[in-house]
Amino acid sequence: MANGMGVTMQPGLTAEGFTAYGASHQAVVVLLLVGAVALVWVGRAYRGSDTADRIGKTLAVATLVFTVPLQLRYLSPGAFELDRTLPLQLCDLSWIVSSYALWTHRPWAVALTYYWGLTLTTQAIITPDLSVNFPDVGFILFWGMHVLIVWAAIYLTWGLGLAPDWRGYRTAIVATSIWAVSVFTFNLVADTNYGYLNAKPAAASILDLLGDWPWYVLAEIAIVSVVWALMTWPWVARAAKHEYGSAQSAHRPA
């Protein structure tokens, strides 16, 4: 599955003022990293408190503030394109799920935020499909959405300690599979190519390394499944070790 915004831009290419890995792009990456560190520190410092909950809900509201105008902008008559602007990409689902996860801490939503946010949304940060530069409102909305999704995943997991497990992994696999089948079917009916599920992008991309259709789709599925499993295993192993240590302490003579 390609990332949520249908990225095809390669590093160093310029598109109407925006240069991948130029000054504005670098500034956003620095902001992302600094904010991530701060959220981990704050989340750990106030974990389990009303303050931590308020911070999460503030992030949820901020996500809505950035993403709703972006979606309305894409759907406006002057910008709407059937094959590009419908909210069918995984990033479109990610901001909804991450907002819900920040507000409720529901395990399934936290899991999807973790997997989608840290693997798929980050692709749009690494290779952004963007045609405007700062201070254009489109630039601000684009980066606000993607950065906040990643921040949500980091805050919930490393900040609040809501670690993923194998149940969350299965939830992510099933949810992503349902999305893929649904969008693939829509692409067939509407003659679109959301998620690059029906064909590779015309421009050069990393998908060229994975073969022709449908092999690159199958390869993506395999890669994502393995990567997500590797992202789950350390947390599960850590939890098992902690439970074992607690059990040993409970049976230790006073």
CA-nearest of 206, 149, 188, 211 to 7 is: 206
**What's the pLDDT score for residue 91?**
87
**Per-block mean pLDDT, blocks of 10 residues, the chain (254 long):** 42 55 92 97 96 97 91 86 89 94 97 96 84 85 93 97 96 97 97 92 77 92 96 93 62 56
- The Cα 167–Cα 53 span in angstroms is 24
Q: At 69, list the tokens.
A: 């105008």
Q: How many CB atoms lie within 10 A of CB 54?
A: 11
Backbone angles phi, psi at 224, to 5 degrees: -60, -45
CA-nearest of 92, 38, 85 to 63 is: 92
How would you classify residue 195: left for phi > 0, otherwise alpha for psi between -120 and 50, otherwise beta? Answer: left
**What's the pLDDT score for residue 244?**
57
This prediction has a pTM of: 0.87
Answer yes or no: are the C-beta atoms of 42 and 55 closer than 8 Å.
Answer: yes
**What's the pLDDT score for residue 71?**
86
